[in-house]
Amino acid sequence: MSEEKAAELTALQAALAAEHAAVYGYGVVGGRIREGRRTEAKAAYDGHRARRDALFREVRDLGGKPVAASAAYALPFPVPDSAAAVRLAAELEERVAGVYSDLVRASTGGVRGTAAEALREAAVRAVRWRGGSVPFPGLAERAATPTASATPTA
């Protein structure tokens, strides 16, 4: 396997691991989020499952052994209520955006195009949950200086 393909496979596995975690995380979100936003959370959950399945196939097609989901994940903070569930959903999308931006860099062609699409999807969902924008979704090194719009408005 070429160096490029190996790097692409590593990034694909990282994306797959993040999608496993997002699927788990949205399970928690769905249990806590208020009725009015449950449909939105379900749609996100389904979206991440679909991405996860596609990444699983992609890794396998490249000759890799797809990373498995863990039985459970430690949440980044307690999620006792709907407000925390919304914060968790935003956090899940930001993490997913981060791995997809790395996959964009590590890949070419169709894989890169799909990764960019997934990054866009995650960024828009994060905006919905957060109620505001960030200038560079998925770019951790530029996240240190958020703009005023990063303040939740909803």
Binding residues (CB under 8 A) for other proteins: these are 4, 17-18, 21, 25, 70-76, 94-95, 97-102, 104-106, 108-109, 112-113, 115-117, 119-120, 122-124, 126-128, 132-143, 147-149
Q: What whole-number distance in Å separates Cα of residue 135 and Cα of residue 138? A: 10
For 50, the token pair is: 């679909």
Smallest separation, CB 145 to other proteins (Å): 9
User: Are 17 and 67 contacting, i.e. CB atoms less than 8 angstroms apart?
Assistant: yes
| Exposure string over 58-93, b if 16+ CB within 10 A, otherwise e | bbeebebebbeeeeeeeeeeebeebebbbbbbbbbb
Nearer Cβ to other proteins (17/59): 17
Smallest separation, CB 88 to other proteins (Å): 10
Smallest separation, CB 18 to other proteins (Å): 6
Around Cβ 30, how many Cβ atoms within 10 Å? 16
Nearer Cβ to other proteins (33/94): 94
User: Are 67 and 9 contacting, i.e. CB atoms less than 8 angstroms apart?
Assistant: no
Smallest separation, CB 80 to other proteins (Å): 17
Nearer Cβ to other proteins (27/76): 76
Smallest separation, CB 144 to other proteins (Å): 9
Nearest-10 Cα torsion for 10, 15, 21, 26: -170
